[in-house]
Every structure is written in structure tokens, then in C-alpha cells.
Amino acid sequence: MRFVFTNVGGRRWRRKILLRLVCALLLQIFAPARMHSQSADAERPVPILSGNAGFLTSVTAGQTLLDTQLNPVLLVPVGDRWLIESRGEFEGEFQRAPSGSFAGPVNKHLDYLQADYIANSYVTITAGRFLTPFGIFNERLYPEWIRTLQPDPLILPIGTASSDGAMLRGGFAVNSHANVNYAAYVSATSIGVNGVESERQVGGRAGMFFPGPRLEVGASWQKALQDDRKNAFGFHLAWQTRALPLSVHSEFARANQGSGYWIEGAYRLSQINAWNRVMRRTEVVGRMQQFFNGAIGPDEAASLGLPTANTREADFGVNYFLKDGLKAVGSYGRQLSSAGNLNQWAVGIVYRFLIPLGRGDSR
């Protein structure tokens, strides 16, 4: 009896200590918020509505598709440290019906709806629905106004479905020659609500950026905590050469569903002297990619948006920047696959908008 009483007392004592420790750590995390409580009025952020709209016409293996996209991004800053951000996707895919007119579905879903707390210079805490940081395309290059070729890379569906959960991310300088960035996340299963599904998984991404050669290399990892509990991993590279206006991006991904890579180079023709006004607004792009089948069947692969057979593809494109935020795009791709070879043509126009929801200036 006496022993039991002592044990309960010990437990309580341990619980108290643990509670105090957790409180102390939480205070450490959130305390720096007070340090910068006064931001300059001129730079006090206002909510904004941004995003892009695009209209693309593509012809894949002789089949014409009219693709209309609207991706509104809402950013609501709260105080000095918080940001609530969200992006939706509305996409109409219209194909020629036997009657002759174009018809098709309008898909809509929520890409992310997250609350960010900038704890300090090194850590941001994110909760909600967020873009899964696997590789770089999904998080950084996906918007139509940013991507240099409109067709998605073949390996994009690997590891990039949005997550519902929490994430820690940030970056810091190791020294003047190297910066490190990282993201670590936990996601819960979310089913039943159309458009916000997610899987139970953990993962992370780490990258190293060298400002001298403007080179970033990094790796991603993801482990599913449901079904077959498979691992996925990937590597990425981003390089902007100093001598030429050339930007190179590349990714490799390997998972149960398949593996593959893509490498892409975008060259701005600003160094060409002839027709300089036109050339400096013109960008030529090339992408090479390959996909290898995984351990899943063709039907499952198709449902995930992956090729159903081993595939190679080469794409070439031209982008012309009409004015800031508005560009005309065009591309041609040749896909070689055991399921059949095909040509892909795409032309279109993409517009990026930004509307302050309040006074944008300081007056």
C-alpha cells in the first residue's frame, strides 16, 4: 500500500517536471515573437489575392484538349509572425465530343490551406493542408507562370500529393558559401471529403545551396504509415549559371509506384544582339525525362497519373514574356513508350495577377 502511494507520488512528480519542461520549451519557441512586435508601418503586410490564370490548347496523339486553369492564392498575414495561406485549383478540361462541340469536366480542389508561424530565423511551424515537400517541382515550380514547360514531368505524381498535418521548415547559413534548408512533416489520413484527401505519412527534405556557383542540391524522403508502408526517396538539383542566362533544374524519384528523372534547361536569349527587344523577352527550353515502371499495375499507375509503361520523353518549348506577369507559351514533345509513341503540342497564354485586399501603399 505504502509502495503504491510512493509510486503514484513519483508519477505525479515526473508529470509535473515533464509539464514544466514542455512549458519552458514552448515558451522558448514562441518567445522570440515578442522581439519584433513593432514592424514599420510602411511595410506592414496587407492581405492579398494572387495566383494565375491560363488557357492552353494541347494536341496529344491527335486528340485536342482545351485546358483552362485558375489558381487563386489567398495570403492573409496576421500580426508579425503569422500567415494564413491557401491555393485552390479550378481546371476545365474540354475535349471534342462526337457531336462536334467541346465538353468535359471542371475539376476543383484545394492544394493547400495552412497556417504558418514564423517562430524565428531558423524555424517556421506549419499546420493544416500543405504541399508535400518532396523534390522541388511540386512546391516551387508548379504554378503555370513559373514553370518553363507546361506539361508536367512524368514523375510528378510520386510523393507529391498534398498532406494534412504539421510541418517544420526553415533555412540557415552554414557560412558565407553555403546555406541549408530543410522541411520535416507528419501527415494524417484524410478520406471522405472530396478534394482534401491525404495519406498517413512522415517525411522530409533537406537541401544545400551554394551562392557562389548558384547551385542547390538536395534529397527528399517519405515513408507511408499505412497500407504497404513503403519508402520513397528523391534527389533534386537547381543551378543558375553565372556566365549565361541559363537555368537548370533536375529531379530523380524512386518509389513503389515507379522511378524516373527529368532534367530541364531554360535559356533566356538576352545575350543575342540582333532584335534585342524581342530576344530578351524570349526563352527557349528543353527537357529530357524517363520513367520506369514500378511494382504496381497499369490501372493503378493510370489512376495516379503515372505512365502505364516504361517511357522516354523529350520536350522543347519557347516562352515569350509579353509583359510582366503575362507570357505566351508553346511546346512540342515526343513520347516513346512500349504502350505507343505519340506527339504532344501545346500553345497558350498564362497570366499572373496580384490584388492587394487593402491599402497596398503606406499612405
Which residues are at the interface with another protein (CB under 8 A)?
25, 28-29, 31-32, 35, 42-48, 50, 75, 77, 83, 85, 116, 118-126, 139-141, 145-146, 166, 168-173, 181-184, 186, 202, 209, 211, 214, 216, 223, 225, 238, 240, 247, 321, 324-325, 352, 354, 356, 358-362
Q: Which is nearer to another protein, 102 or 320 (CB)?
A: 320
CB of 150 to another protein, least distance (A): 15
CB of 333 to another protein, least distance (A): 22
AA letter at 253 = A
AA letter at 294 = G
Q: Which is nearer to another protein, 204 or 258 (CB)?
A: 204
Buried b / exposed e across 307-339, counting CB within 10 Å, b at 16+? Answer: bbeebbbebebbbeeeeeeebebbbebebebee
Name which of 250, 282, 256, 254 is nearest 269 in CA terms.
282
CB of 251 to another protein, least distance (A): 13
Whether the CB-CB separation of 204 and 184 falls below 8 Å is answered with yes
CB of 198 to another protein, least distance (A): 16
Helix or strand or coil: residue 276? Answer: helix
CB of 104 to another protein, least distance (A): 30
Name which of 144, 139, 134, 154 is nearest 288 in CA terms.
154
Q: How far apart are CA 269 and CA 266, in angstroms?
A: 10
Q: Which is nearer to another protein, 149 or 183 (CB)?
A: 183
Whether the CB-CB separation of 231 and 201 falls below 8 Å is answered with no
Q: Which is nearer to another protein, 59 or 118 (CB)?
A: 118
CB of 360 to another protein, least distance (A): 3
Q: Which is nearer to another protein, 325 or 340 (CB)?
A: 325
260: β partners:
253, 291
Q: Which is nearer to another protein, 6 or 39 (CB)?
A: 39
